[in-house]
Chains A and B, each alone.
Chain A
Amino acid sequence: MNSLRIEEHPVLSFERGEKITFFFNGREIDAYPNETIAAALHASGVRKLGESPVLHRPRGLFCAIGNCSSCFMIVDNQPNMRVCVMKVKSGMHVEEQKGKGELELIVEN
């Protein structure tokens, strides 16, 4: 679904670099370094990022500046990640978050 990437633009040019891949709900998806997880998902036509806690209504992106919490997803087992500002990395596992998600306790010594 490369057509969702803007190739020609009257003002901007996009230097994307080498293609990488990551996993969304177990499915391998193309991305470019330096883009956010939300941008990479949108480029693949994915707009549903999770489900609301009680009514399980689908949730998508809203503010894209790390402010509104609508885009919370599970990234490499960590819930509540703001994928609108978090950069995609090669091999990363991103999953839809259903509800509030459970925090993994990290104990540092």
Chain B
Amino acid sequence: MIKNVEIMVIGGGPAGLCAALSASDLGVGISAPDLGVGISAPDLGVGISAPDLGVGVLLVERDDVAGGQLVKQTHKFFGSEKQYAGDRGIHIGQMLVEKAQADSNIEIWTDSTVLGIYEDGVVTVLHEDKHIKVKPERIIIATGAAEKFLAFPGNDLPGIYGAGAVQTLMNVAGVKPAERVLMVGAGNIGLIVSYQLKQAGIDVVAVIEGQPKIGGYLVHASKIRRAGIPVLTRHTILEAYGNGRVEGALITEIDESWLPIPGTERKIVCDTICLAVGLSPLTELAWQAGCEMGFIRELSGHVPIFDENLETTCPGIYCAGDVCGIEEASSAMVEGRLAGINAAASLGYGVSEAEKFRKDAMIELEELRSGDMGGHIRVGLEKMYARCKK
């Protein structure tokens, strides 16, 4: 049996949730039962009830709760009020999930992983331990990102975690993942997670950073300083040691070309090493679907090539959020909204309002990216649009 949907959203983080909500706002789903037309009953098999014939928006999330990265972010967000700044990440996530759950045009599948997107437009999903085929008219890929790894001897020892994993253990499960942590990376994530470790009563021995200065926002850096955690810039990790588990790390100072300065090595005793060295877009589905991909450093690596409408080079497949360039929840939400509007409008929904909504979203994105921190994104997008026009 194939399930027909108008718009399928892959990933239930801020981007995916906002995409589903905006598509529904434009009217997707209201005429859903009509979708069954043209499919003869025998094709559907016996015992399929009418509501299964079609659905407006189907949102598929791998985790058992939607919310993406937001489910573990206990700190208050920046940005403008439109993107709920000042609110804590977890609350923003809950609010979006509740809105989507209350929306009868949106069906949400959690604990469900999208496995592949095929030439004939069929998307396969592992849902309730079954392999299910879905035939959407439009697809929005909002799969987010995964933490980067670092190469050093001993990096496979139990006790070496991505910063997000530590966040999940302590903020979602309420379990102390460690006693003494060495944090690698002083970008926002490294700083925020270090602070959250402190809040959970865990010792952070130091935050080390290869760059000559701290990459994250000053507010987060100041909190770390106040908590008495040393931030060692121009430092890197040489190796992790321990018998069957992390017992410590060897760190060193590095010079301008990132080479270790002999004689500056020192041992740090810790039971956990946390890597906060950036994220890579989770682009497997875009690759597999045959979207043209490009390496754009400012967008954090290989990303699908997309146009101003966030449509990839595969017609009808859109992308939004971290998967098309690592940024922030605030911009992921607006990108999601934009992708949802465009996908809905391309199906003929809300065409008269779509233009205004689209403009509003574009302006919001421009505002979000206007500051210093948005510089690399602006450069990345310029490269993207230059490639896209070719």
Binding site for B on A (CB under 8 A): 3-6, 8-12, 14, 16, 35-36, 38-39, 42-43, 47-49, 52, 57-68, 84-85, 87
Contacts and interface: CB of A to CB of B under 8 A. Distances in A.
19 contacts: A4-B175, A6-B174, A14-B174, A35-B175, A39-B169, A42-B177, A47-B159, A47-B245, A48-B158, A48-B244, A59-B156, A60-B161, A60-B245, A61-B161, A62-B149, A63-B147, A64-B168, A65-B168, A68-B146
Nearest to A11: B74
A48 B246 CA distance: 11
B288 interface: no
B158 A12 contact: no
B171 interface: yes
Given A5-B175, A59-B158, A84 B200 contact: no
Given A5-B176, A6-B175, A64-B169, A57 B156 contact: yes
B199 A11 contact: yes
A47 B64 CA distance: 23
B165 A9 contact: no
Nearest to B149: A62
B62 interface: yes
A40 to B, nearest CB: 8
Given A42-B177, A64-B169, A65-B165, 4 more contacts: A11-B74, A48-B158, A65-B63, A85-B63
A58 to B, nearest CB: 5
Given A9-B200, A67-B146, A62 B74 contact: no
Task: With a 10 A CB-CB cut-off, give which of A8, A65, A85 has the most chain B CB atoms.
Answer: A65
A47 B156 CA distance: 12
Contacts of A61: 158, 161, 165, 169
Contacts of B201: 6, 8
Interface in B238-282: 244-245, 282
A65 B146 contact: yes
A63 B165 contact: yes
Contacts of A87: 64
A63 B156 contact: no
Contact of B165 (A14, A48, A62): A62
Contacts of B156: 52, 57, 59
Contacts of A11: 74, 88, 199
B199 A64 contact: no
Contacts of A9: 174, 199-200
Contacts of A57: 156-157
Contacts, number: 100
B32 interface: no
B164 interface: yes
B174 A12 contact: yes
A35 B199 CA distance: 21
Contacts of B176: 3-6
Given A49-B158, A59-B158, A64-B168, A36 B173 contact: yes
Interface residues of B, number: 34
Interface in B172-220: 172-177, 199-201
B380 to A, nearest CB: 23
Contact of A62 (B62, B113, B160, B170): B160
Nearest to B271: A47
Interface in B359-382: none
Tell me which of A14, A43, A48, A67 has the highest count of chain B C-beta atoms within 10 A of its own C-beta: A67
B70 to A, nearest CB: 13
B48 to A, nearest CB: 19
Contacts of B74: 11-12
Contacts of A67: 146, 282
A42 B166 CA distance: 11
Contacts of A39: 169, 172-173, 175
B29 interface: no
Contact of B157 (A10, A16, A58): A58
A57 B244 CA distance: 8
Given A11-B88, A87-B64, A63 B175 contact: no
A47 B169 contact: no
Nearest to A50: B158
Contacts of A4: 175-176
B208 to A, nearest CB: 19
In the complex, which of the residues B74, B113, B168, B282 has the most CB atoms of chain A within 10 Å of its own CB atom? Answer: B168
Most buried by B among A12, A35, A38: A12
B321 interface: no
